[in-house]
Amino acid sequence: MLLEVRSLSTAYSGLLAIQDISIDVAENEIVVVAGANGAGKSTLLKSIAGMERPRSGSVTLDGARLDGLPGHVITQKGVAYVPENKRLFPRLSVADNLRLGSYLHRAAADREAPLERVFALFPRLKERLPQRAGTLSGGEQQMLAIGRALMTRPRLLMLDEPSQGIMPKLVDEIFDAITTIRATGVTILLVEQRLAESLSIADRAYVLQTGRLILQGPAANLRDDPEVRRAYLGL
C-alpha cells in the first residue's frame, strides 16, 4: 500500500471528530471518502496532511511514518493536499502561486519541469499567468490550487471537495483532470459531495458517519447497490 492509515483518531477541544479510522490507498488508485456534512472527511485529510495532530493511530506512506511530522515535511515526502478553502495567495499572480508550490518539491533541481504538465492539464492557467489569483473564477482558482499542489510532484494528491462552488461546466473539467492526473502516475484521495461523479472515476470508496467508518468497498458496488445509495449516499 502507498498510504496506510491505522486507527486514526483526531479531536478538537476533547471532542473526537474522527474515531479509529483505518484506510488504505494503493499506488495509482483513486479513492473517495464520502459522508454527510460534519462526518469528519476534512479532518481525516488534515490529519494525514499534518494540519491537525491525531490523538492516536498512525499514518504511513510507503511504510514510513508521517504522523507527528510538520505539514511541510509531509509535503516534501510526497503528499500534496488541496484544502477546501484552497489557501491561494490572492494578491499574487497565477505564476507566483505556482512557483510557490515548486519550492516544496522534494528535490530542488528542475523546479520548473512540472509546469508544462500543469499547463497541459489546465490551459486556462497558462493564459492567465500574470493575473492575480484572487480575481480568478471559482473554477480557475480550483485549477490553480490543484496545479500548485502538482508543482510539489506528489506521489499522493489529496483533494477536499474540488467541485465546490464551481459552475457545472468546469466541474466536468475538474473531474476529467483528476482522471488525467492519475494517468500520469499520481495516486488520488478525494473527498467529494458529488457522489455520482466521484464514484464514476474512483476505484474504491469509504463512507464516514459521525467520525466513524461505516462502509467501504469498490466504487462500482457502492454506486450500484440500491440500499447503499438510499441509506448512505442520499442518491
- 40 versus 139: smaller Cβ distance to ligand ATP: 40
Mask 40-59, x = binds ligand ATP (CB under 6 A)? Answer: xxxx----------------
- Per-residue b or e along 38-75, where b marks 16 or more CB atoms closer than 10 Å to that residue's CB: ebbbbbbbbbbbbebebeebebebeeeebbebeeeebb
Return d(Cα 235, Cα 227) in angstroms, integer: 10
C-alpha cell of residue 231: 441509506
- 40 versus 101: smaller Cβ distance to ligand ATP: 40
- 18 versus 121: smaller Cβ distance to ligand ATP: 18
- Contacts to ligand ATP from residues 168-187, by CB under 6 A: none
Q: DSSP labels for 93-117?
A: BHHHHHHHHHTT-SSSTTTTHHHHH
Nearest distance in Å: CB 191, ligand ATP: 7
Q: How big is the site for ligand ATP, counted in residues (CB under 6 A)?
A: 10
Closest CA to 98 of 124, 133, 70, 72: 133
- 83 versus 217: smaller Cβ distance to ligand ATP: 83
- Contacts to ligand ATP from residues 2-41, by CB under 6 A: 12, 17, 35, 37-41
Which residues contact ligand ATP by CB under 6 A? 12, 17, 35, 37-43
